[in-house]
Structure 1
């Protein structure tokens, strides 16, 4: 186990020990439970500040090379300008001879600080290897936590081959990293003379002056670098930091986003959070893939989820019946897939290794990108069919169902055959109820279909982006998350299918016949429904009793007596009313057949129960042609061949006024016929 690993383990253990010493007692927990949200937020900030300070103190105490800038509430300050070291930099770039001489002197200085056995080991290695092997070994040794030995090997390689600008640049980069930037600048200035448009050299010069605290000069070199290579990682990061120091956060984010579009860094992520900013990591990753020429995968189609798109929404209640088997088969397929992917998720988690599992290389990146994905694709965004939209759908269903139920169907005429009655019922359902059912489906479909179509598009985008992220760290938990998302897609499809029956709208049409053929009910042959058994209106008789007369027709009979002052009695067959009359009147006959009669009488009416009900004045006028009287039992019995009787009554009890017009004999027959 190397020294770096030991330091990190020691740091983690110490953090745990210190964290446990601050474990909350039950009293502390009770105290927190009584805090207001504002007090809890303040308490949280206080604890973060305390623990951050302790982490920094521990890193310094145990000499741990840890980037504490990622810790919350750590204030990052710009490097202080080191005037003394800046003064050691020559005004002009050195010559080749000056470089070689300076390198040889530096080799002797470095060897004095290294144990003799180590120096001897380096000299033996350099003597036995070629320049390329020495160069590669120097880099490997430097990054294997042995920076001094790696620098010594690189110095010997450059001194032996001063014309290699690559090795000279790499040595300068090592100088920058170990904090002797004043030695790096001359080497880089010499390289820049030979390669004036080298973005690598310009970046390293910018990093040298950045470390020395000369931020103005650093920015000048970094800008030149980015003019040549706009995606240089280190130059973008340093330019972002320069703007951060000046609190120019928007400008800083522009450079940090360029950096993150090439490589993910936790420290840069932390810088964004410190500024209250966030990266669109998924968009940055997409740009990275585009630059590499990698095509964006459509995982949704790779799993062939596209063939599970919703069928055509029914346009009528008949279509629901016709497509019933299709909807049923699709529903069964969707439910099977939903259960399959749920089981997949459970199986993956069940087979996950137990105990400590080291996270993948991109674990932190994946976590951040998934968090960003969930912030965009919230449950409310994924499912546009909200409670409000559900309420609208419910209102559409209830309102239209009520309209269907409320239809008043015309009844078949009394005495119609069972077949005719059934035809009336079917015709009402097909002609009046079915159009309302189709209207329900159309209105419901116009409301919910666009919502579910939009939701399915969002589900597809969500699954595609989730798969692209999880592929960087396909842990069991992340795999299960993808499988559950796919299962959720099928759950969504199943929910949408519930509306394809329009709330079982066909249940509201029990009397409809899908293959019904319209029958013209007006053409059905049937008997006269308005005919009633009654006497002919032309039938009437009149009996002359000498000074009194009895008259009768289909509606009533009457008795009259007197001349001048006339009295009478009437009885109506239909109502059962009886009326006594008394008043003035006159009769006249002419040509032996025609007769006229006019009366104005008070009347008193009794109902069928012989109870007084009304009284008033009745005026009657009658004109007719008498038939030949027939002597029957000594009494002349005759009738009116043709006649008209007009009367009006004015009730003195209720104030009502009525008029009547009655035809008799031949005239009655003619009137009734027309």
Structure 2
């Protein structure tokens, strides 16, 4: 549950964050911690989409005559029903949680400071990638990520993606399904579909940001940073991107860069609890007790 809540945190703060014109400051709508109502609203939207997809596939199944197609449809329906059940169970659990409990879940992470990971830091591009270079990087990244996925999870992700693609779903809609997969307990499916959604529309900054945030959570900070650097060059005053950059650098153990990005995020949005929390850990590790208390 805690991992899912943390994922919801990264996603919730990104919704609508990129509807602004580049180089404009982000307003207070980018809350650091989503409320229970916000989480449930997003989950209800996701479950409604899954339920509709099941109904559509069941209608298609009634008139289908090809045995192979029937088999594939039944597999997809079965997978989606499991996903829907997981989402409904998760939503029920969230409904029994108070906003205070949700806040505590965000604040319950370990205070351990990661060691500097020289090898992964050295593997990063030496400059901010332009859009063309980022596309090449994304193709390589998604391939590497897919190669690390368990066979069954990857297979289910491919099946769902093929269905979405055949039905001409937009990259934005694919991103919503990816969110539903991860929130519903199917992280490998979600990661697979998010990667495909990003490649389908590299102009969709929401998907790119969310994919990068999840990669950081999965321990792939070296994949996240080039994506976030590109977004930050377009949206330099976005506290969501700056926080995600700070979290990624924190995961790689580069406290100087983590601190800079987190301080920038807090400077723009002072009550960003996630940025403040990590900033506090860094300051405590540096012996800056007073600053840590203020954070």
Query: Shorter-normalised TM-score: what interval?
Result: 0.5 to 0.7
SS in structure 1 of the partner of residue 215 of structure 2 = helix
Residue 201 in structure 1 maps to residue 236 in structure 2: no
Aligned-residue offset at 1:70: 5.8
Q: Is the 8 A contact 1:138 1:151 kept in 2?
A: yes
Taking the aligned partners of 2:146 and 2:140, their CA distance within structure 1 comes to 10
Following the alignment from structure 2 to structure 1, what is the Cα–Cα distance between the partners of residues 226 and 217?
16
In structure 2, how many angstroms separate the alpha carbons of the residues matched to 1:119 and 1:223?
37
- Judging changes above 3 Å, is the alpha-carbon distance between structure 1 residues 135 and 246 closer, same or farther for their aligned structure 2 residues? same
Change (3 A) 1:183 1:70: closer
Query: What is the SS of the residue equivalent to 2:132?
Result: helix
In 2 relative to 1, CA 162–70 (structure 1 residues): closer, same or farther, beyond 3 Å?
A: closer
How far apart, CA to CA, are the structure 2 residues paired with 1:87 and 1:125?
Answer: 39
SS of 2:236's equivalent in the other structure is coil
**In the alignment, what sits opposite 1:108?**
143
CA contact (8 A) 1:203 1:225 kept: yes
1:252 offset after TM fit, Å?
1.6
1:155 aligns with 2:203: no
CA RMSD of aligned residues (A): 2.5
Q: 2:164 is matched with which residue: 107, 120, 126?
A: 126
Structure 1 residues 122 and 236, CA gap change in structure 2 (3 angstroms):
same
Q: Retained in 1: the 8 A contact 2:157–2:193?
A: no
Residue of structure 2 in register with 1:233 after alignment = 273
* Cα offsets for 1:197-230 (capped at 9, x unmatched): 1111111111110010000111011111111111
The answer for the alignment partner of 2:261 in structure 1 is 221
Tell me what 1:323 maps to.
Answer: none
Aligned counterparts of 2:114 and 2:180: Cα–Cα separation in 1: 29
Matches within 5 A, 1:542-561: none
Q: Which has the higher helix share?
A: 2
**Following the alignment from structure 1 to structure 2, what is the Cα–Cα distance between the partners of residues 126 and 106?**
22
Residue 234 (structure 1) shift? 1.3
Shift of 1:108: 2.7
Q: How big is each residue's C-alpha offset from its partner over 1:616-665, in whole Å with a ceiling of 9 and x where there is no partner?
A: xxxxxxxxxxxxxxxxxxxxxxxxxxxxxxxxxxxxxxxxxxxxxxxxxx
What are the Cα deviations for residues 298-355 of structure 1, in whole angstroms up to 9, with x where unaligned?
xxxxxxxxxxxxxxxxxxxxxxxxxxxxxxxxxxxxxxxxxxxxxxxxxxxxxxxxxx
Match runs of 1:275-314 below 5 Å: none
- Tell me, yes or no, if the aligned pair for 1:162 and 1:168 is still in contact at 8 Å: yes
Which structure is higher in RCO with an 8 Å CA cutoff and minimum separation 6?
A: 2
Unaligned runs of 5+ in 1: 6-66, 256-674
Q: Cα 1:137–1:237, aligned 2, differ >3 Å: closer, same or farther?
A: same
Aligned pair in 2 of structure 1 residues 117, 78: CA closer, same or farther (>3 Å)?
closer
Provide the secondary structure at the position in 2 that maps to 1:79: coil
What is residue 289 of structure 2 aligned with on the other side? Answer: 249
Tell me the TM-score normalized by structure 1: 0.26
Distance in 1 between the 2:156 and 2:133 partners?
Answer: 28
| Higher gyration radius (CA) | 1
Query: Which residue of structure 1 aligns with residue 183 of structure 2?
Result: 143
Conserved in 1, the CA contact under 8 Å of 2:178 and 2:190?
A: yes
- Counterparts of 1:111 and 1:251 in 2: how far apart (Å)? 42
How far apart, in 1, do the equivalents of 2:207 and 2:158 lie?
A: 22
Whole-Å separation in 2 of the counterparts to 1:70 and 1:191:
29
Instruction: Looking at secondary structure, tell me which structure has more strand per residue.
Output: 1
Structure 2 runs not aligned, ≥5 long: 5-104
- Given that residues 126 and 153 in structure 1 are in contact (C-alpha distance below 8 angstroms), is that contact kept between their aligned partners in structure 2? no
TM-score normalised to structure 2 length: 0.58
Displacement of 1:119 in angstroms is 4.0
The aligned counterpart of 2:222 is 182
Partners of 1:70 and 1:203 lie apart in 2 by: 18
> Who is 1:84 aligned against?
119
* Structure-2 separation of matches of 1:70 and 1:223: 21
Change (3 A) 1:222 1:141: same
Query: Following TM superposition, by how much is the alpha carbon of 1:149 offset from its aligned partner in structure 2, in angstroms?
Result: 1.8
Preserved CA contact (<8 Å) 2:262 2:279: yes
> Equivalent residue for 2:155?
117
Matches of 1:203 and 1:117, distance apart in 2? 33
